[in-house]
């Protein structure tokens, strides 16, 4: 990379994203910032002048994928004059170590520093650059600087960071402490999205339940009610929720907001109260299940999903069996399950009673097989029913097959002779697998 300034007008860039919805939304912001300066997106690494890798550090596997991807870029760097940037959670976690150990990286940016991208390209081209500073207050990136490829469903960030310090979780060290976006900015963004024809919005945050407007002090239920009043938006989702912060007031607000989907991702992580205590989750199994009972009494059609970690340090076979029992009792429509992996800086990473990898793998396989049967039974119960589906796109394999999601956020594949992308359609479910439903347009 030659030293000196570089114009963004002729620049082609490629962004590769690892991780969750927050990372996907961050990549949309990065793309928007660069395009506003005249840069162009590229579908090919070989044609790109700039490659940005948006990283995730929540799981060891995500981190490994990042370093593996860097290996793929090594030969590209040798062939052409290309700038490579590492941004996001791994960048924040390792900071200058990345530049020292991975010399193909030209710049490192933490999640609070994406607005510096134009300056890096224009003023620091050829120099190594790092910025991982935290802003204590919310740093607003204008919404017109967010480039959205999806024109139907949009992410809207309402808060970032986490104050919970679960003993296994690196997020407080990669995303910082909780800070909330002013409510008026959120409402304005949703209104603008509605004018552009978006049908669904997803409110994002590490813990959306702890949202509090920094200007008025109003909390998440108030925000949900205001978003619900915006004309044009038909479905509202939010992620992620922390069980200890999910109150009855939030459940009631969901019930009263007719646009709020009756779908909730509520990560339990373990079905054992003793493991939850060691995880520093702030609730017991019994308290979690009480919330589920209240939610389902209020909204019997609620579709629930969760996160599960198996093999947490010291987890006994009995504690693992408690988790399977919770899966059976709750009947989740979907779960995201992982083997425990130690993360830098966390309390659990210093625990000495680690579960052997082979045992963690066995438990994960058993848990996923157990849940697969639960999901299959649930999906079979929907056969012959008619379900409202938001069509999000076409199948890559068959131009007549469309794909969408129902209110419960389940994938539905169906045939249609006319283009229904971006529309709500009534689908009669004809068959299913454990992970998706198959149907046809209802007459």
Mean pLDDT of 234-252: 97
pLDDT of residue 398: 79
Map out the domains of the chain as residue ranges. 12-131, 143-380, 386-441
User: Across residues 360-378, what is the average pLDDT?
Assistant: 98
Domain 12-131: assigned CATH number: 3.40.50.12160
Q: What is the mean pLDDT of residues 165-189?
A: 96
- Provide mean pLDDT across the span 364-383: 98
Q: What is the pLDDT of residue 3?
A: 46
- How far apart, in Å, do the first and last CA atoms of the chain sit? 60
Given a contact cutoff of 8 angstroms between Cβ atoms, the answer to whether 367 and 339 are in contact is no
Q: So what's the pLDDT on residue 125?
A: 66
CATH topology of 12-131 equal to that of 143-380?
no
More confident residue, 253 or 74: 253
**Percent of the chain having pLDDT more than 70?**
98
Tens-place pLDDT, residues 29-41: 999 999 999 999 9
Comparing C-alpha atoms, which of 231, 287, 92 is closest to residue 170? 92
Q: Is the pLDDT of residue 2 over 50?
A: no
Give the per-residue pLDDT at 364. 98
Q: Is the pLDDT of residue 323 over 90?
A: yes
The tokens describing 256, both together, are 């009263």
Which pLDDT tens digit goes with each residue over 180-202? 999 999 999 999 999 999 999 99
Q: What is the pTM of this model?
A: 0.93
Segment 330-351 shows an average pLDDT of: 96
pLDDT at 75: 87
Q: Residue 426: what pLDDT?
A: 97
| Distance in angstroms (rounded) separating the CA atoms of residues 87 and 52 | 7
As a CATH number, domain 143-380 is: 3.80.30.20
At residue 94, the pLDDT reads 93
Task: Return mean pLDDT, the chain.
Answer: 94
pLDDT at 6 over 80: no
Predicted confidence (pLDDT) at residue 149 exceeds the cutoff of 50: yes
- Model confidence at 7, pLDDT cuts 50, 70, 90, reads low
pLDDT value at residue 4: 44
Domain at 386-441: CATH code = 2.40.50.140
Provide the pLDDT confidence category of residue 395 given band limits of 50, 70 and 90: confident
Residues 71-85 have a mean pLDDT of 89
């Amino acid at each position: 990379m030659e030293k000196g300034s570089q114009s963004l007008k002729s620049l082609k860039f490629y962004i590769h994203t690892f991780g969750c919805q927050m990372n996907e939304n961050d990549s949309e912001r990065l793309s928007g910032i660069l395009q506003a300066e005249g840069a162009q997106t590229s579908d090919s690494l070989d044609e790109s002048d700039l490659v940005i890798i948006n990283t995730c550090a929540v799981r060891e596997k995500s981190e490994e994928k990042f370093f593996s991807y860097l290996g793929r870029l090594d030969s590209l760097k040798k062939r052409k004059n290309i700038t490579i940037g590492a941004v996001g959670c791994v960048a924040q976690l390792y900071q200058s170590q990345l530049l020292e150990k991975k010399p193909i990286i030209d710049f490192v940016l933490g999640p609070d520093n994406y607005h510096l991208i134009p300056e890096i390209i224009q003023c620091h081209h050829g120099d190594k650059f790092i910025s991982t500073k935290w802003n204590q207050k919310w740093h607003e990136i204008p919404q017109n600087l967010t480039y959205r490829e999806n024109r139907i469903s949009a992410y809207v960030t309402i808060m970032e960071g986490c104050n919970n310090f679960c003993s296994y979780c690196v997020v407080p060290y990669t995303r910082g402490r909780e800070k909330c976006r002013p409510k008026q900015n959120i409402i304005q963004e949703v209104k603008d999205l509605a004018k552009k024809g978006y049908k669904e919005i997803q409110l994002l945050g590490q813990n959306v339940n702890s949202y509090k407007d920094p200007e008025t002090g109003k909390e998440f239920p108030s925000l949900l009610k205001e978003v619900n009043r915006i004309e044009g938006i038909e479905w509202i989702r939010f992620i992620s929720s922390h069980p200890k912060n999910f109150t009855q007031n939030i459940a009631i607000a969901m019930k009263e907001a007719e646009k709020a989907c009756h779908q909730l991702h509520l990560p339990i992580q373990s079905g054992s109260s003793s493991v939850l205590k060691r995880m520093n989750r702030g609730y017991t199994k019994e308290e979690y299940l009480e919330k589920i009972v209240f939610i389902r009494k209020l909204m019997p059609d609620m579709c629930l999903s969760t996160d599960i970690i198996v093999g947490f340090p010291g987890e006994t076979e009995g504690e693992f069996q408690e988790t399977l029992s919770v899966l059976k009792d709750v009947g989740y429509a979907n779960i995201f399950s992982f083997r425990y992996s130690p993360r830098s800086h966390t309390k659990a990473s210093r625990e000495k009673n680690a579960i052997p990898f082979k045992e963690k793998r066995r438990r994960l396989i058993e848990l996923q097989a157990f849940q697969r049967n639960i999901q299959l039974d649930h999906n079979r119960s929907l056969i012959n029913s008619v379900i409202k589906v938001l069509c999000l796109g076409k199948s890559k394999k068959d131009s007549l097959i469309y794909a969408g999601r129902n209110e419960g956020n389940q994938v539905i594949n169906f045939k249609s002779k006319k283009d229904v992308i971006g529309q709500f359609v009534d689908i009669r479910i004809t068959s299913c697998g454990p992970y998706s439903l198959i149907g046809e347009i209802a007459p």
